[in-house]
């Protein structure tokens, strides 16, 4: 067993950043390959596909969905590598054999199976429940609409699960210990490396890394929910390109900033460990609490509008007030709940 040098330790501390970049690079390469095959001049329906992709209502939501998936996958890949560094130590991770190549290879296989096997299968299943599908007569017109909505949600859930599990599988293969790997080195034994190398190589203190990770997960989940909801509304079809572009760019950036602020307030300057999956869990919990709280307030407001004694709240004016209330509530809850959950999760590390 050889003793890792300072250069190999620094190389190990760059692993989280490298896995995140590899994730985005492999994802982007697969998207470009898939779109290129569809738009190739000699392929059937290439003209129709070019016209379809040129529509703002198609390429803008698609780009938002891709960015969401890339940010979430990169954040999870970073988390797996950082967790290994903090739990096993940089000296142990430095002994791994080609973790970057192994990660890229496995992740590429996962994406190929998703693009060319799982996604077509899910699409064929969705066709069964659409109007004119084989199961329309069985469910009836009203039942078909309900089943279509459920199938849309399930399709999105399956794709999200594939993303999470695909990154986990690739990271598990890349970070798996070999037979001659040294025993786990506790984090405290590498504290000098953690204090210097982690900041130098990642460009962020543990506190900032936690806030960035929580914000990335929170904003990605919000965009994922917006993508699911957009399939049930006609708003996308009636908005022009500029409005669509602004609608898919500005809100995620605002959500990211609010979640980052809450994550920053929920941790302290003395934070020494990132413990990334605690940040991921805290972000998911805060996101769920924010959504549930806003839905509860919105439902209660609508119930008040429908009662006879509150008829003055009904109409377009009441709906405008409701939207304003929900926006302000969302802003406040995102910061406050993210701060509260982060403070509770990282209480023992502050």
Q: pLDDT per residue over 194-241, tens digit each? A: 444 444 444 468 999 999 999 999 999 999 999 988 876 655 556 667
Average pLDDT over residues 178-186: 53
Number of H helices, E strands in the chain: 14, 0
Say which residues have a Cβ less than 8 Å from residue 99's Cβ, sequence separation at least 6. 15, 19, 81, 93, 174, 175
pLDDT at 182 over 60: no
Least confident of 60-69, 79-88, 197-206: 197-206
Least confident of 5-9, 93-97, 226-230, 332-336: 5-9
Task: Kindly report the pTM of this predicted structure.
Answer: 0.88
Calpha distance 260→154 (Å, rounded): 29
Q: Residue 315's pLDDT is what?
A: 65
Stronger pLDDT, 192 or 42, i.e. the higher one:
42
Calpha distance 13→199 (Å, rounded): 9
Least confident of 177-191, 311-325, 327-341: 177-191
Q: Residue 321's pLDDT is what?
A: 84
- pLDDT category at 20 given cuts 50, 70, 90 is very high
Read off the DSSP letter of residue 116: I
Calpha distance 19→68 (Å, rounded): 17
Interaxial angle between packed helices 56-88 and 136-174, expressed in degrees from 0 to 180 and rounded to the nearest 10: 40
pLDDT at 133 over 90: no
**132 in helix, strand or coil?**
coil
Say which residues have a Cβ less than 8 Å from residue 190's Cβ, sequence separation at least 6. 89, 90, 91
* % the chain with pLDDT above 70: 80
The two three-digit tokens of residue 39, written as one number: 């738009």
Token look-up 């809100």 returns 251
Calpha distance 255→223 (Å, rounded): 10
Average pLDDT over residues 164-169: 98
Calpha distance 149→231 (Å, rounded): 9
Calpha distance 155→68 (Å, rounded): 16
- pLDDT category at 180 given cuts 50, 70, 90 is low
Average pLDDT over residues 60-69: 93
Calpha distance 147→134 (Å, rounded): 13
Calpha distance 275→279 (Å, rounded): 7
- Burial grade of 188 (CB within 10 A; 0-12, 13-18, 19 or more): exposed
Q: Residue 135's pLDDT is what?
A: 58
- pLDDT category at 159 given cuts 50, 70, 90 is very high
């Amino acid at each position: 067993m050889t003793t890792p040098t300072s250069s190999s330790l620094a190389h190990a501390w760059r692993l989280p950043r490298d896995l995140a970049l590899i994730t985005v690079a492999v994802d982007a390469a697969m998207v470009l390959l898939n779109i290129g095959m569809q738009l190739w001049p000699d392929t059937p329906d290439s003209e129709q596909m070019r016209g379809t992709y040129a529509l703002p209502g198609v390429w803008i939501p698609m780009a938002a969905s891709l960015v969401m998936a890339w940010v979430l996958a990169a954040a999870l890949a970073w988390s797996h590598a950082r967790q290994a560094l903090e739990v096993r130590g940089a000296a142990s991770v430095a002994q791994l054999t080609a973790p970057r190549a192994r990660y890229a290879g496995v992740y590429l296989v996962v994406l190929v199976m998703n693009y060319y096997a799982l996604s077509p299968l899910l699409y064929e299943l969705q066709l069964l429940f659409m109007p004119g599908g084989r199961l329309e007569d069985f469910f009836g017109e009203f039942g078909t609409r309900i089943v279509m909505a459920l199938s849309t949600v399930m399709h999105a859930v399956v794709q999200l699960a594939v993303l999470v599990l695909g990154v986990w599988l690739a990271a598990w293969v890349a970070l798996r210990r070999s037979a001659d790997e040294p025993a786990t080195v506790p984090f405290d034994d590498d504290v000098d490396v953690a204090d210097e190398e982690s900041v130098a190589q990642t460009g962020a203190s543990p506190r900032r890394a936690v806030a960035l990770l929580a914000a990335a997960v929170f904003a990605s989940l919000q965009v994922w929910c917006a993508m699911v909801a957009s399939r049930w509304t006609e708003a996308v079809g009636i908005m022009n390109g500029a409005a669509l572009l602004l609608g898919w760019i500005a809100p995620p950036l605002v959500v990211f900033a609010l979640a980052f602020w809450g994550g920053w307030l929920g941790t302290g300057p003395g934070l020494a460990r990132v413990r990334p999956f605690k940040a991921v869990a805290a972000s998911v919990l805060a996101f769920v609490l924010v959504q549930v709280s806003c839905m509860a307030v919105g439902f209660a407001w609508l119930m008040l509008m429908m009662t006879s004694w509150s008829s003055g709240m009904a109409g377009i004016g009441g709906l405008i007030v409701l939207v304003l209330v929900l926006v302000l509530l969302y802003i406040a809850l995102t910061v406050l709940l993210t701060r509260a959950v982060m403070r509770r999760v990282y209480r023992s590390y502050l």
